[in-house]
Amino acid sequence: MTGHAHHEHHGASLTQEAQTTLEAAGEQWTDMRALIFDVLATFKTPASAYDIAEKVSARREKRIAPNSVYRILDLFVETNLAQRVESANAYVANSHPGCVHDCIFMICDRCGEVTHVDNDRIANGVRDTATANGFTPDRPVIEVHGTCAACD
C-alpha cells in the first residue's frame, strides 16, 4: 500500500498534539473543547455526538446539549483533530492530527471497529477522477464495510 509515515499519538501525547494543532489553526483550546476531545479519544469505536454528550455530561455533572458537541466536533474535523465516519454519523479521534491527508476507513459491521488506513495512491486517484470529471473535491470519503479479522 502506498502510504506515508506519521507518528501515532496516544493519551497525554495525543491531547497535547491536538491542542498544538488547534492553536496553530488560530483556535483556542478551551476547557470544554479539551473535555470533548478527551472523551472522544476514549471511544474504541466511532462515537456519535449523543454518545459524547452523555459522557461529558456525566463528567461535568451538568447536561451538555448534543448540538454544542456537534459544533465542537465540526471544528475538530475542520482542524483535523477528528475524522467523521460518514456512514455511521459518528466520529473518531485522529491519532495524528498534525498530518493532513485523505483517509480510508475499514468498518466492521459486526463489532463496529473502524480501522483507518492511509493509501495516497487510492485517495489521489479518487481526487484525480473527480477533477477529470469537472468536479473540485474538498474531502473524499472512502469507507469499506465488511467484517474484521477478529469477527471473521
Q: Are 140 and 102 in contact, with CB atoms under 8 Å apart?
A: yes
Residues 24 and 76 in one domain: yes
Q: Is the pLDDT of residue 10 over 70?
A: no
For the stretch 79-105, pLDDT in tens is 999 999 999 899 999 887 766 678 889
pLDDT at position 1, please? 45
Instruction: Tell me whether residue 3 is in a domain.
Output: no
Is residue 28 located within the same domain as residue 81?
A: yes
In three-state form (DSSP H/G/I as H, E/B as E, the rest C), the secondary structure along the chain is CCCCCCCCCCHHHHHHHHHHHHHHCCCCCCHHHHHHHHHHHHCCCCECHHHHHHHHHHHHCCCCCHHHHHHHHHHHHHCCCEEEEHHHCEEEECCCCCCCCCCEEEEECCCCCEEEECCHHHHHHHHHHHHHCCCCCCCCCEEEEECCCCCC
The range of the structural domain enclosing residue 113 comes to: 104-146
Same-domain check for residues 118 and 65: no
Banded model confidence at residue 140, pLDDT cuts 50, 70, 90: confident
Reported as half-sphere exposure (CB side, CA atoms, 13 A), residue 128 has a value of 6
* Residue 99 covered by a domain: no
- Contact residues for 58 (Cβ-Cβ < 8 A; gap 6+): none
d(CA 26, CA 88): 29
Number of domains within the chain: 2
What pLDDT sits at residue 11? 54
Model confidence at 16: pLDDT above 70: yes
